[in-house]
Amino acid sequence: MHKEPEPTADAGQPSEPSNDQAAPEAPPTPEQAALRITALEAELHEMRERWMRAEAEMANVRARAKRDVDETRQYAVQKFAKDVVEAAENLRRGIDSLPKPAADEPALVASLRDGFEGVERSFVALLERNGIKREDPTGTPFDPNLHQAMAEQESAEHPHGTVMQAWTQAWTLNGRLLRPAMVVVAKAPADAGARQDSTA
């Protein structure tokens, strides 16, 4: 005769939750939520500060790079510019070596002088368009950044420390000195100094 299986002792009883199932977390208290918000705000502020510092540093790097590129572009031809300036000085010396204009001078000499002076004007204008400038210091105060004193000469007609004669001109490339002017600087006559001492 077929027998029905006997029910087990826990049949029909609800099963207990297993240890693998986590119990639901309790909601944070208002104090815990406030602390969490404060921590997140502090973290956000720190990240914002880091981002702003990084942006400022990148802006400085870009500015330095642009400045370096601009300076390289402006002064890369400095050696060539010095050679060109030497050619311009030689041209000026050649013009100065020609006889001074006179009423009875041959027409050929006058024509040569006019031609060379026209070439020099065009040459100097070409240099100026490319940032190379010539400055005549005659009559200006002596500036050691632009002038090289070759001699001092007593003069009652020029104030002390004034450039009374320029043997060569000052040349600059985009504001940077290429060649200083060779100059003669005026100084007060010795008898003027003696007069000042006697009246003191």
The pLDDT tens digits of the residues spanning 73-86 come to 767 788 889 899 99
Q: 107 or 166, which is more confident?
A: 166
pLDDT digits (tens, 9 = 90+) for 18-41: 555 555 677 878 888 888 889 899
Is residue 102 domain-shared with residue 91, that is, in the same domain?
yes
Number of H helices, E strands in the chain: 4, 6
Q: In this structure, is residue 147 part of a structural domain?
A: yes
DSSP for 102-135 reads -TT--HHHHHHHHHHHHHHHHHHHHHHHTTEEEE
CATH of the domain at 99: 2.30.22.10
- Check whether residue 54 and residue 128 sit in a common domain: no
β-strands 147-154, 170-173 pairing:
unpaired
Among 76, 100, 131, the domain-final residue is 76
Q: Are residues 96 and 157 in the same domain?
A: yes
